[in-house]
Amino acid sequence: LPAGEPRSRPAAPSSGREGGRRKRTTFSKAQLELLVRAFEKEPYPGIALREQLSGLTDIPESRIQ
């Protein structure tokens, strides 16, 4: 860049879901203990187990991976 020209910055990610990150999920101690026990038994849970864990923890199934 020539001296004296301002550098352009990339646009900051939008606060919405259009291309930005979603908010980090936080877990209570009870939720975390349940999820840890479940993932120790089955590291790659199928949809049925994820839906069951979702119902038990009140965490959206899409966040249980």
**Whole-structure pTM value:** 0.64
Average pLDDT of the chain is 84
User: Distance between CA 60 and CA 22 in Å, rounded?
Assistant: 13
Q: Are 60 and 54 in contact (CB under 8 A)?
A: yes
Q: Are 35 and 53 in contact (CB under 8 A)?
A: yes
- Nearest residue to 39 (alpha-carbon basis) of 58, 60, 65: 65
User: Distance between CA 62 and CA 65 in Å, rounded?
Assistant: 7
Residues 17-41: tens digit of each pLDDT: 567 888 888 999 999 999 999 999 9
